[in-house]
Amino acid sequence: MKLKEIKEILNAKVLTGEEYLDREVLSAFGSDLMSDVLAFIDDGSVLLTGLTNPQVIRTAEMIDLHAIVFVRGKKPSKEIIEMAKLHNITILLTDYTLYTACGKLYEKGLKGISVEGVIK
Amino acid sequence: MNEKNFIKLEYEILQNDFTRAGEASSNIKKILKQLGIEAKIVRKVAIATYEAEMNIVIHSYGGMIKVIITEQYVDIYAIDKGPGIKDIELAMKEGYSTAPNHIRELGFGAGMGLPNMKRCSDEFNIESIPNEKTEVYMRIYINKI
């Protein structure tokens, strides 16, 4: 699924990284636990989260994530958006809650990550 | 780089410095990428150093991360002064954490840090003296023999 489809399904606003909306996303992961994100996500995934601090961007940077969706209309600070921009990460903002946002994407065919064999 | 050549990086990590937390790991990642090391290896090192860096920021009184890059492997040392770990076996268990609520609100303290570090490394060792220090050693092979 392309990022621009995710944007449409979630009625999302693009906060940065509009130029990468043609990127293909293979799977999704919804979590506020950054260590779980580090443990399970691979590149090619999109992260949906309600957490809006700099560590979310750092985490995305470490594992080469291309896109983050902030849920429940929680707008990150300007500093965080700048950080994402620097690392070519697309940031989407949706008013849906984490559960609903994940459900809407799943319904349209975007599957969750596979838990086995992500790092080893 | 021949066998005797290596790159040594050292970063001081401050306690409770949440604005800069992750900068050392970000820097290490950038250097590994510039060296042309395979993305999968770079990611393993990035996760290992980032979790180690966050651990030092969250749990210690301050410490350092030292990285040695050779042609064959990347060695990571995360050394801190602090309360140490009383029960290492318990600390290695997924889901076990002593992090307070304000840390959990940052998305950390889920008890996955040390297990993540171990999962990413080919060799892993942790030693701790309660009320003194913790030292973590990790080796990640670039070319697996």
Q: CB distance from A119 to chain B under 8 Å?
A: yes
The whole-number pLDDT of residue A120 equals 47
Q: What is the largest CA-CA distance in chain B?
A: 48
Which of A77, A24, A72 is closest to A48 using CA atoms?
A: A72
Is residue A18 within 8 A of residue B30, CB to CB? The reply is: no
Contacts of A32 (CB under 8 A, 6+ apart): A49, A50, A51, A98, B107
- Joined together, the tokens standing for residue A41 give 């996500």
Q: For B30-80, how does the pLDDT look when each residue is reduced to its tens digit (9 = 90+)?
A: 999 999 999 999 999 999 999 999 999 999 999 999 999 999 999 999 999
Is residue A5 within 8 A of residue A108, CB to CB? The reply is: yes
Pairing of strands B133-141, B73-81: antiparallel
The reply to whether ipTM tops 0.85 is yes
CA closest to B28 among chain A residues: A62
- Residue B18 reports pLDDT greater than 60: yes
Domains of chain A (ranges, CATH numbers): 3-107 (3.40.1390.20)
Closest Cα in chain B, distance from residue A91 (Å): 18
- Residues of B engaging A, defined by a Cβ cutoff of 8 Å: 18-19, 21-22, 25-26, 29, 39, 43-44, 46-47, 50-51, 54, 106-108, 110-113, 115-116, 119-120
- Joined together, the tokens standing for residue B108 give 């950390």
Q: Which residue has the higher pLDDT, B133 or B143?
A: B133
Across A15-51, b (16+ Cβ under 10 Å) vs e yields: bbbeebbebebebbbbbbbbbbbbbbbbeebbbbbbb
Q: Report the DSSP beta bridge partners of residue A11.
A: none
> Looking at the partner chain, which of A56, A63, A119 has a beta carbon nearest the beta carbon of B107?
A56
Provide the whole-model pTM: 0.91
Which class does domain B13-139 fall in? Answer: alpha beta
The whole-number pLDDT of residue A84 equals 97
A vs B, Cβ pairs < 8 A, gives 77
Is residue A2 within 8 A of residue A9, CB to CB? The reply is: no
Which of B105, B61, B96, B14 is closest to A55 using CA atoms?
A: B105
- Joined together, the tokens standing for residue B7 give 């790159």
Q: Which residue has the higher pLDDT, B14 or B145?
A: B14
Interchain pair A38, B116: CB under 8 A = yes
Closest Cα in chain A, distance from residue B145 (Å): 16
Angle at A53 between CA A51 and CA A56, to 5 degrees: 75
Coil, strand or helix: which one is B122?
coil
> Domain spans of chain B?
13-139
Q: What is the rounded CA–CA span in Å between residue B56 and residue B60?
A: 5
Closest Cα in chain B, distance from residue A95 (Å): 21
Q: Choose from A47, A49, A62 for mutation: most chain B CBs within 10 A.
A: A62
DSSP string for B27-84: HHHHHHHHTT--HHHHHHHHHHHHHHHHHHHHHSSEEEEEEEE-SSEEEEEEEEESS-
Whole-number percent of chain B with pLDDT over 70? 96
Element (H, E) at B115: helix B113-120
Q: For A46-101, how does the pLDDT look when each residue is reduced to its tens digit (9 = 90+)?
A: 999 999 999 999 999 999 999 999 999 999 999 999 999 999 999 999 999 999 99
Crossing angle of helices A54-62 and B23-34, rounded to 10°: 20
